[in-house]
Amino acid sequence: MLAQSFQDFEMIVVDDDPGGASAETLCSYKDDRIVTLEHRDRQGLAAAFNTGIRAARGAFITFLCDDDEYLPSFLEKTYAFFESPAARKCGFVWTGIRRVKDTPDGEVPWYEKNWSSPFATREAAIIEATSIGSGFGLTVRRRCFDDIGLFDPMFEMGQDTELLFRLVSRFDFAVVPEILVKIHHHQGSQLTDRTNYPIRVALYEKIIDRHAAFLNNYPQLLYVHLMAIVRLSYLAGMKRKGRQIMMRILRCNPCRVVAYLDWCCYELFGENARLCAQRSRIRTMLMPFLRLRRNRDQRHLK
């Protein structure tokens, strides 16, 4: 943060780890822009975000977890984008990201993700906006929280997805089409760890149910998020849950061939995520058979 090219900011650090070394470390920085707030008891990420939002004085709020970093021009380019004619009506924006793996020998590039706007359709834009996380350079106008409320502490994981559903239902948004955030993957504890998949599945379902009325207006949006639950379920070894969600998908999309193909792949490879990457080859082999079967079914109905 202190290396940003844009220097007119306040940095609110919320320490959700009572008794840790964070407070002592932060005291070594003699900078009036740094505000340190400490929870007496561990309350979780949503509560930490909310503590920071309540204390914020600026017109824009962005989020950075302790193991990620902004590239030096993040604040400058995000602020300039908000001030441009294209984003005057936007309630929030996000940026491109670069993922790296931290190893004993240093950073290893993993992959990059960038977006360009405008999107082809409103639904395509909403799919992307609800598929990112708070760590994707998400920056929100302060007044938006006055309208929709803060993060819901009930969601110890996926709280950013739930918030994004509320944001997209009320405000315009856009993408800063540059990679301005670096996300680190390391051997330490992270909310995205595989051990957290079962609870992520349960909370993801609650998010879908909570926003069912909105999702019903966008069939592809619902499909994408239900498929995400299927993927998490199979990766967690929760085949019964994966099958349950797949049946829900197929009831709504009985002629969607790709859904049957994905299901076959998850059933074949189970929780092995690396082998699931071979789905494209399996799709190629199974597509003619499934099309033939569907045509037969349609002729039978006639």
Partners of 60 in the β-ladder: 141
Q: 126-130, 195-199, 282-286 — which is least confidently predicted? A: 282-286
Other Cβ atoms within 10 Å of 29 Cβ, number = 13
Q: 83-92, 191-200, 236-245 — which is least confidently predicted? A: 191-200
* Rounded Cα gap, residues 167 and 147, in angstroms: 9
- Asked which of 140, 161, 191 is the last residue of a domain, the reply is 191
Q: What is the mean pLDDT of residues 40-61?
A: 95
Partners of 62 in the β-ladder: 139
Number of domains in the chain: 2
Which own/partner pairs from 87-91 qualify as long-range (CB within 8 Å, at least 24 positions apart)?
Answer: 87/174, 89/172, 90/141, 90/171, 90/172, 90/173, 90/174, 91/140, 91/141, 91/144, 91/167, 91/170, 91/171, 91/172, 91/173
Q: Do 70 and 175 belong to one domain?
A: yes
Asked whether residue 6 is assigned to any structural domain, the reply reads: no
Smallest CA-to-CA distance from 161 within 194, 222, 92, 207 is with: 207
Asked whether residue 5 is assigned to any structural domain, the reply reads: no
153 touches 50 (CB < 8 A): yes
Q: Do 292 and 173 belong to one domain?
A: no
What's the Cα-to-Cα distance from 34 to each of 56, 139, 149, 174, 271, rounded to whole Å?
12, 19, 25, 29, 44
Q: Is the pLDDT of residue 277 over 90?
A: no
> Tokens 């058979």, residue?
289
SS3 assignment, position 36 = strand
Asked whether residue 275 is assigned to any structural domain, the reply reads: yes
* Rounded Cα gap, residues 219 and 223, in angstroms: 6
Q: Do 177 and 223 belong to one domain?
A: no
- Asked which of 170, 191, 212 is the last residue of a domain, the reply is 191
Range of the domain at 213: 195-301
Q: Which residue has the higher pLDDT, 237 or 139?
A: 139
Q: Is the pLDDT of residue 191 over 90?
A: no
Query: So what's the pLDDT on residue 288?
Result: 63
Query: So what's the pLDDT on residue 66?
Result: 85
Q: Is the pLDDT of residue 145 over 80?
A: yes
Asked whether residue 205 is assigned to any structural domain, the reply reads: yes
* Rounded Cα gap, residues 136 and 115, in angstroms: 11
Looking at the chain, the whole-number percentage of residues with pLDDT higher than 90 is 65
Q: What is the mean pLDDT of residues 269-298?
A: 54
- Asked which of 164, 191, 218 is the last residue of a domain, the reply is 191
Query: So what's the pLDDT on residue 293?
Result: 47
* Rounded Cα gap, residues 209 and 114, in angstroms: 29
CA atoms within 13 A on the CB side of 301: 6
Q: Is the pLDDT of residue 127 over 60?
A: yes
Handedness of CA 16, 19, 20, 21 (dihedral sign): positive
Q: Do 230 and 90 belong to one domain?
A: no
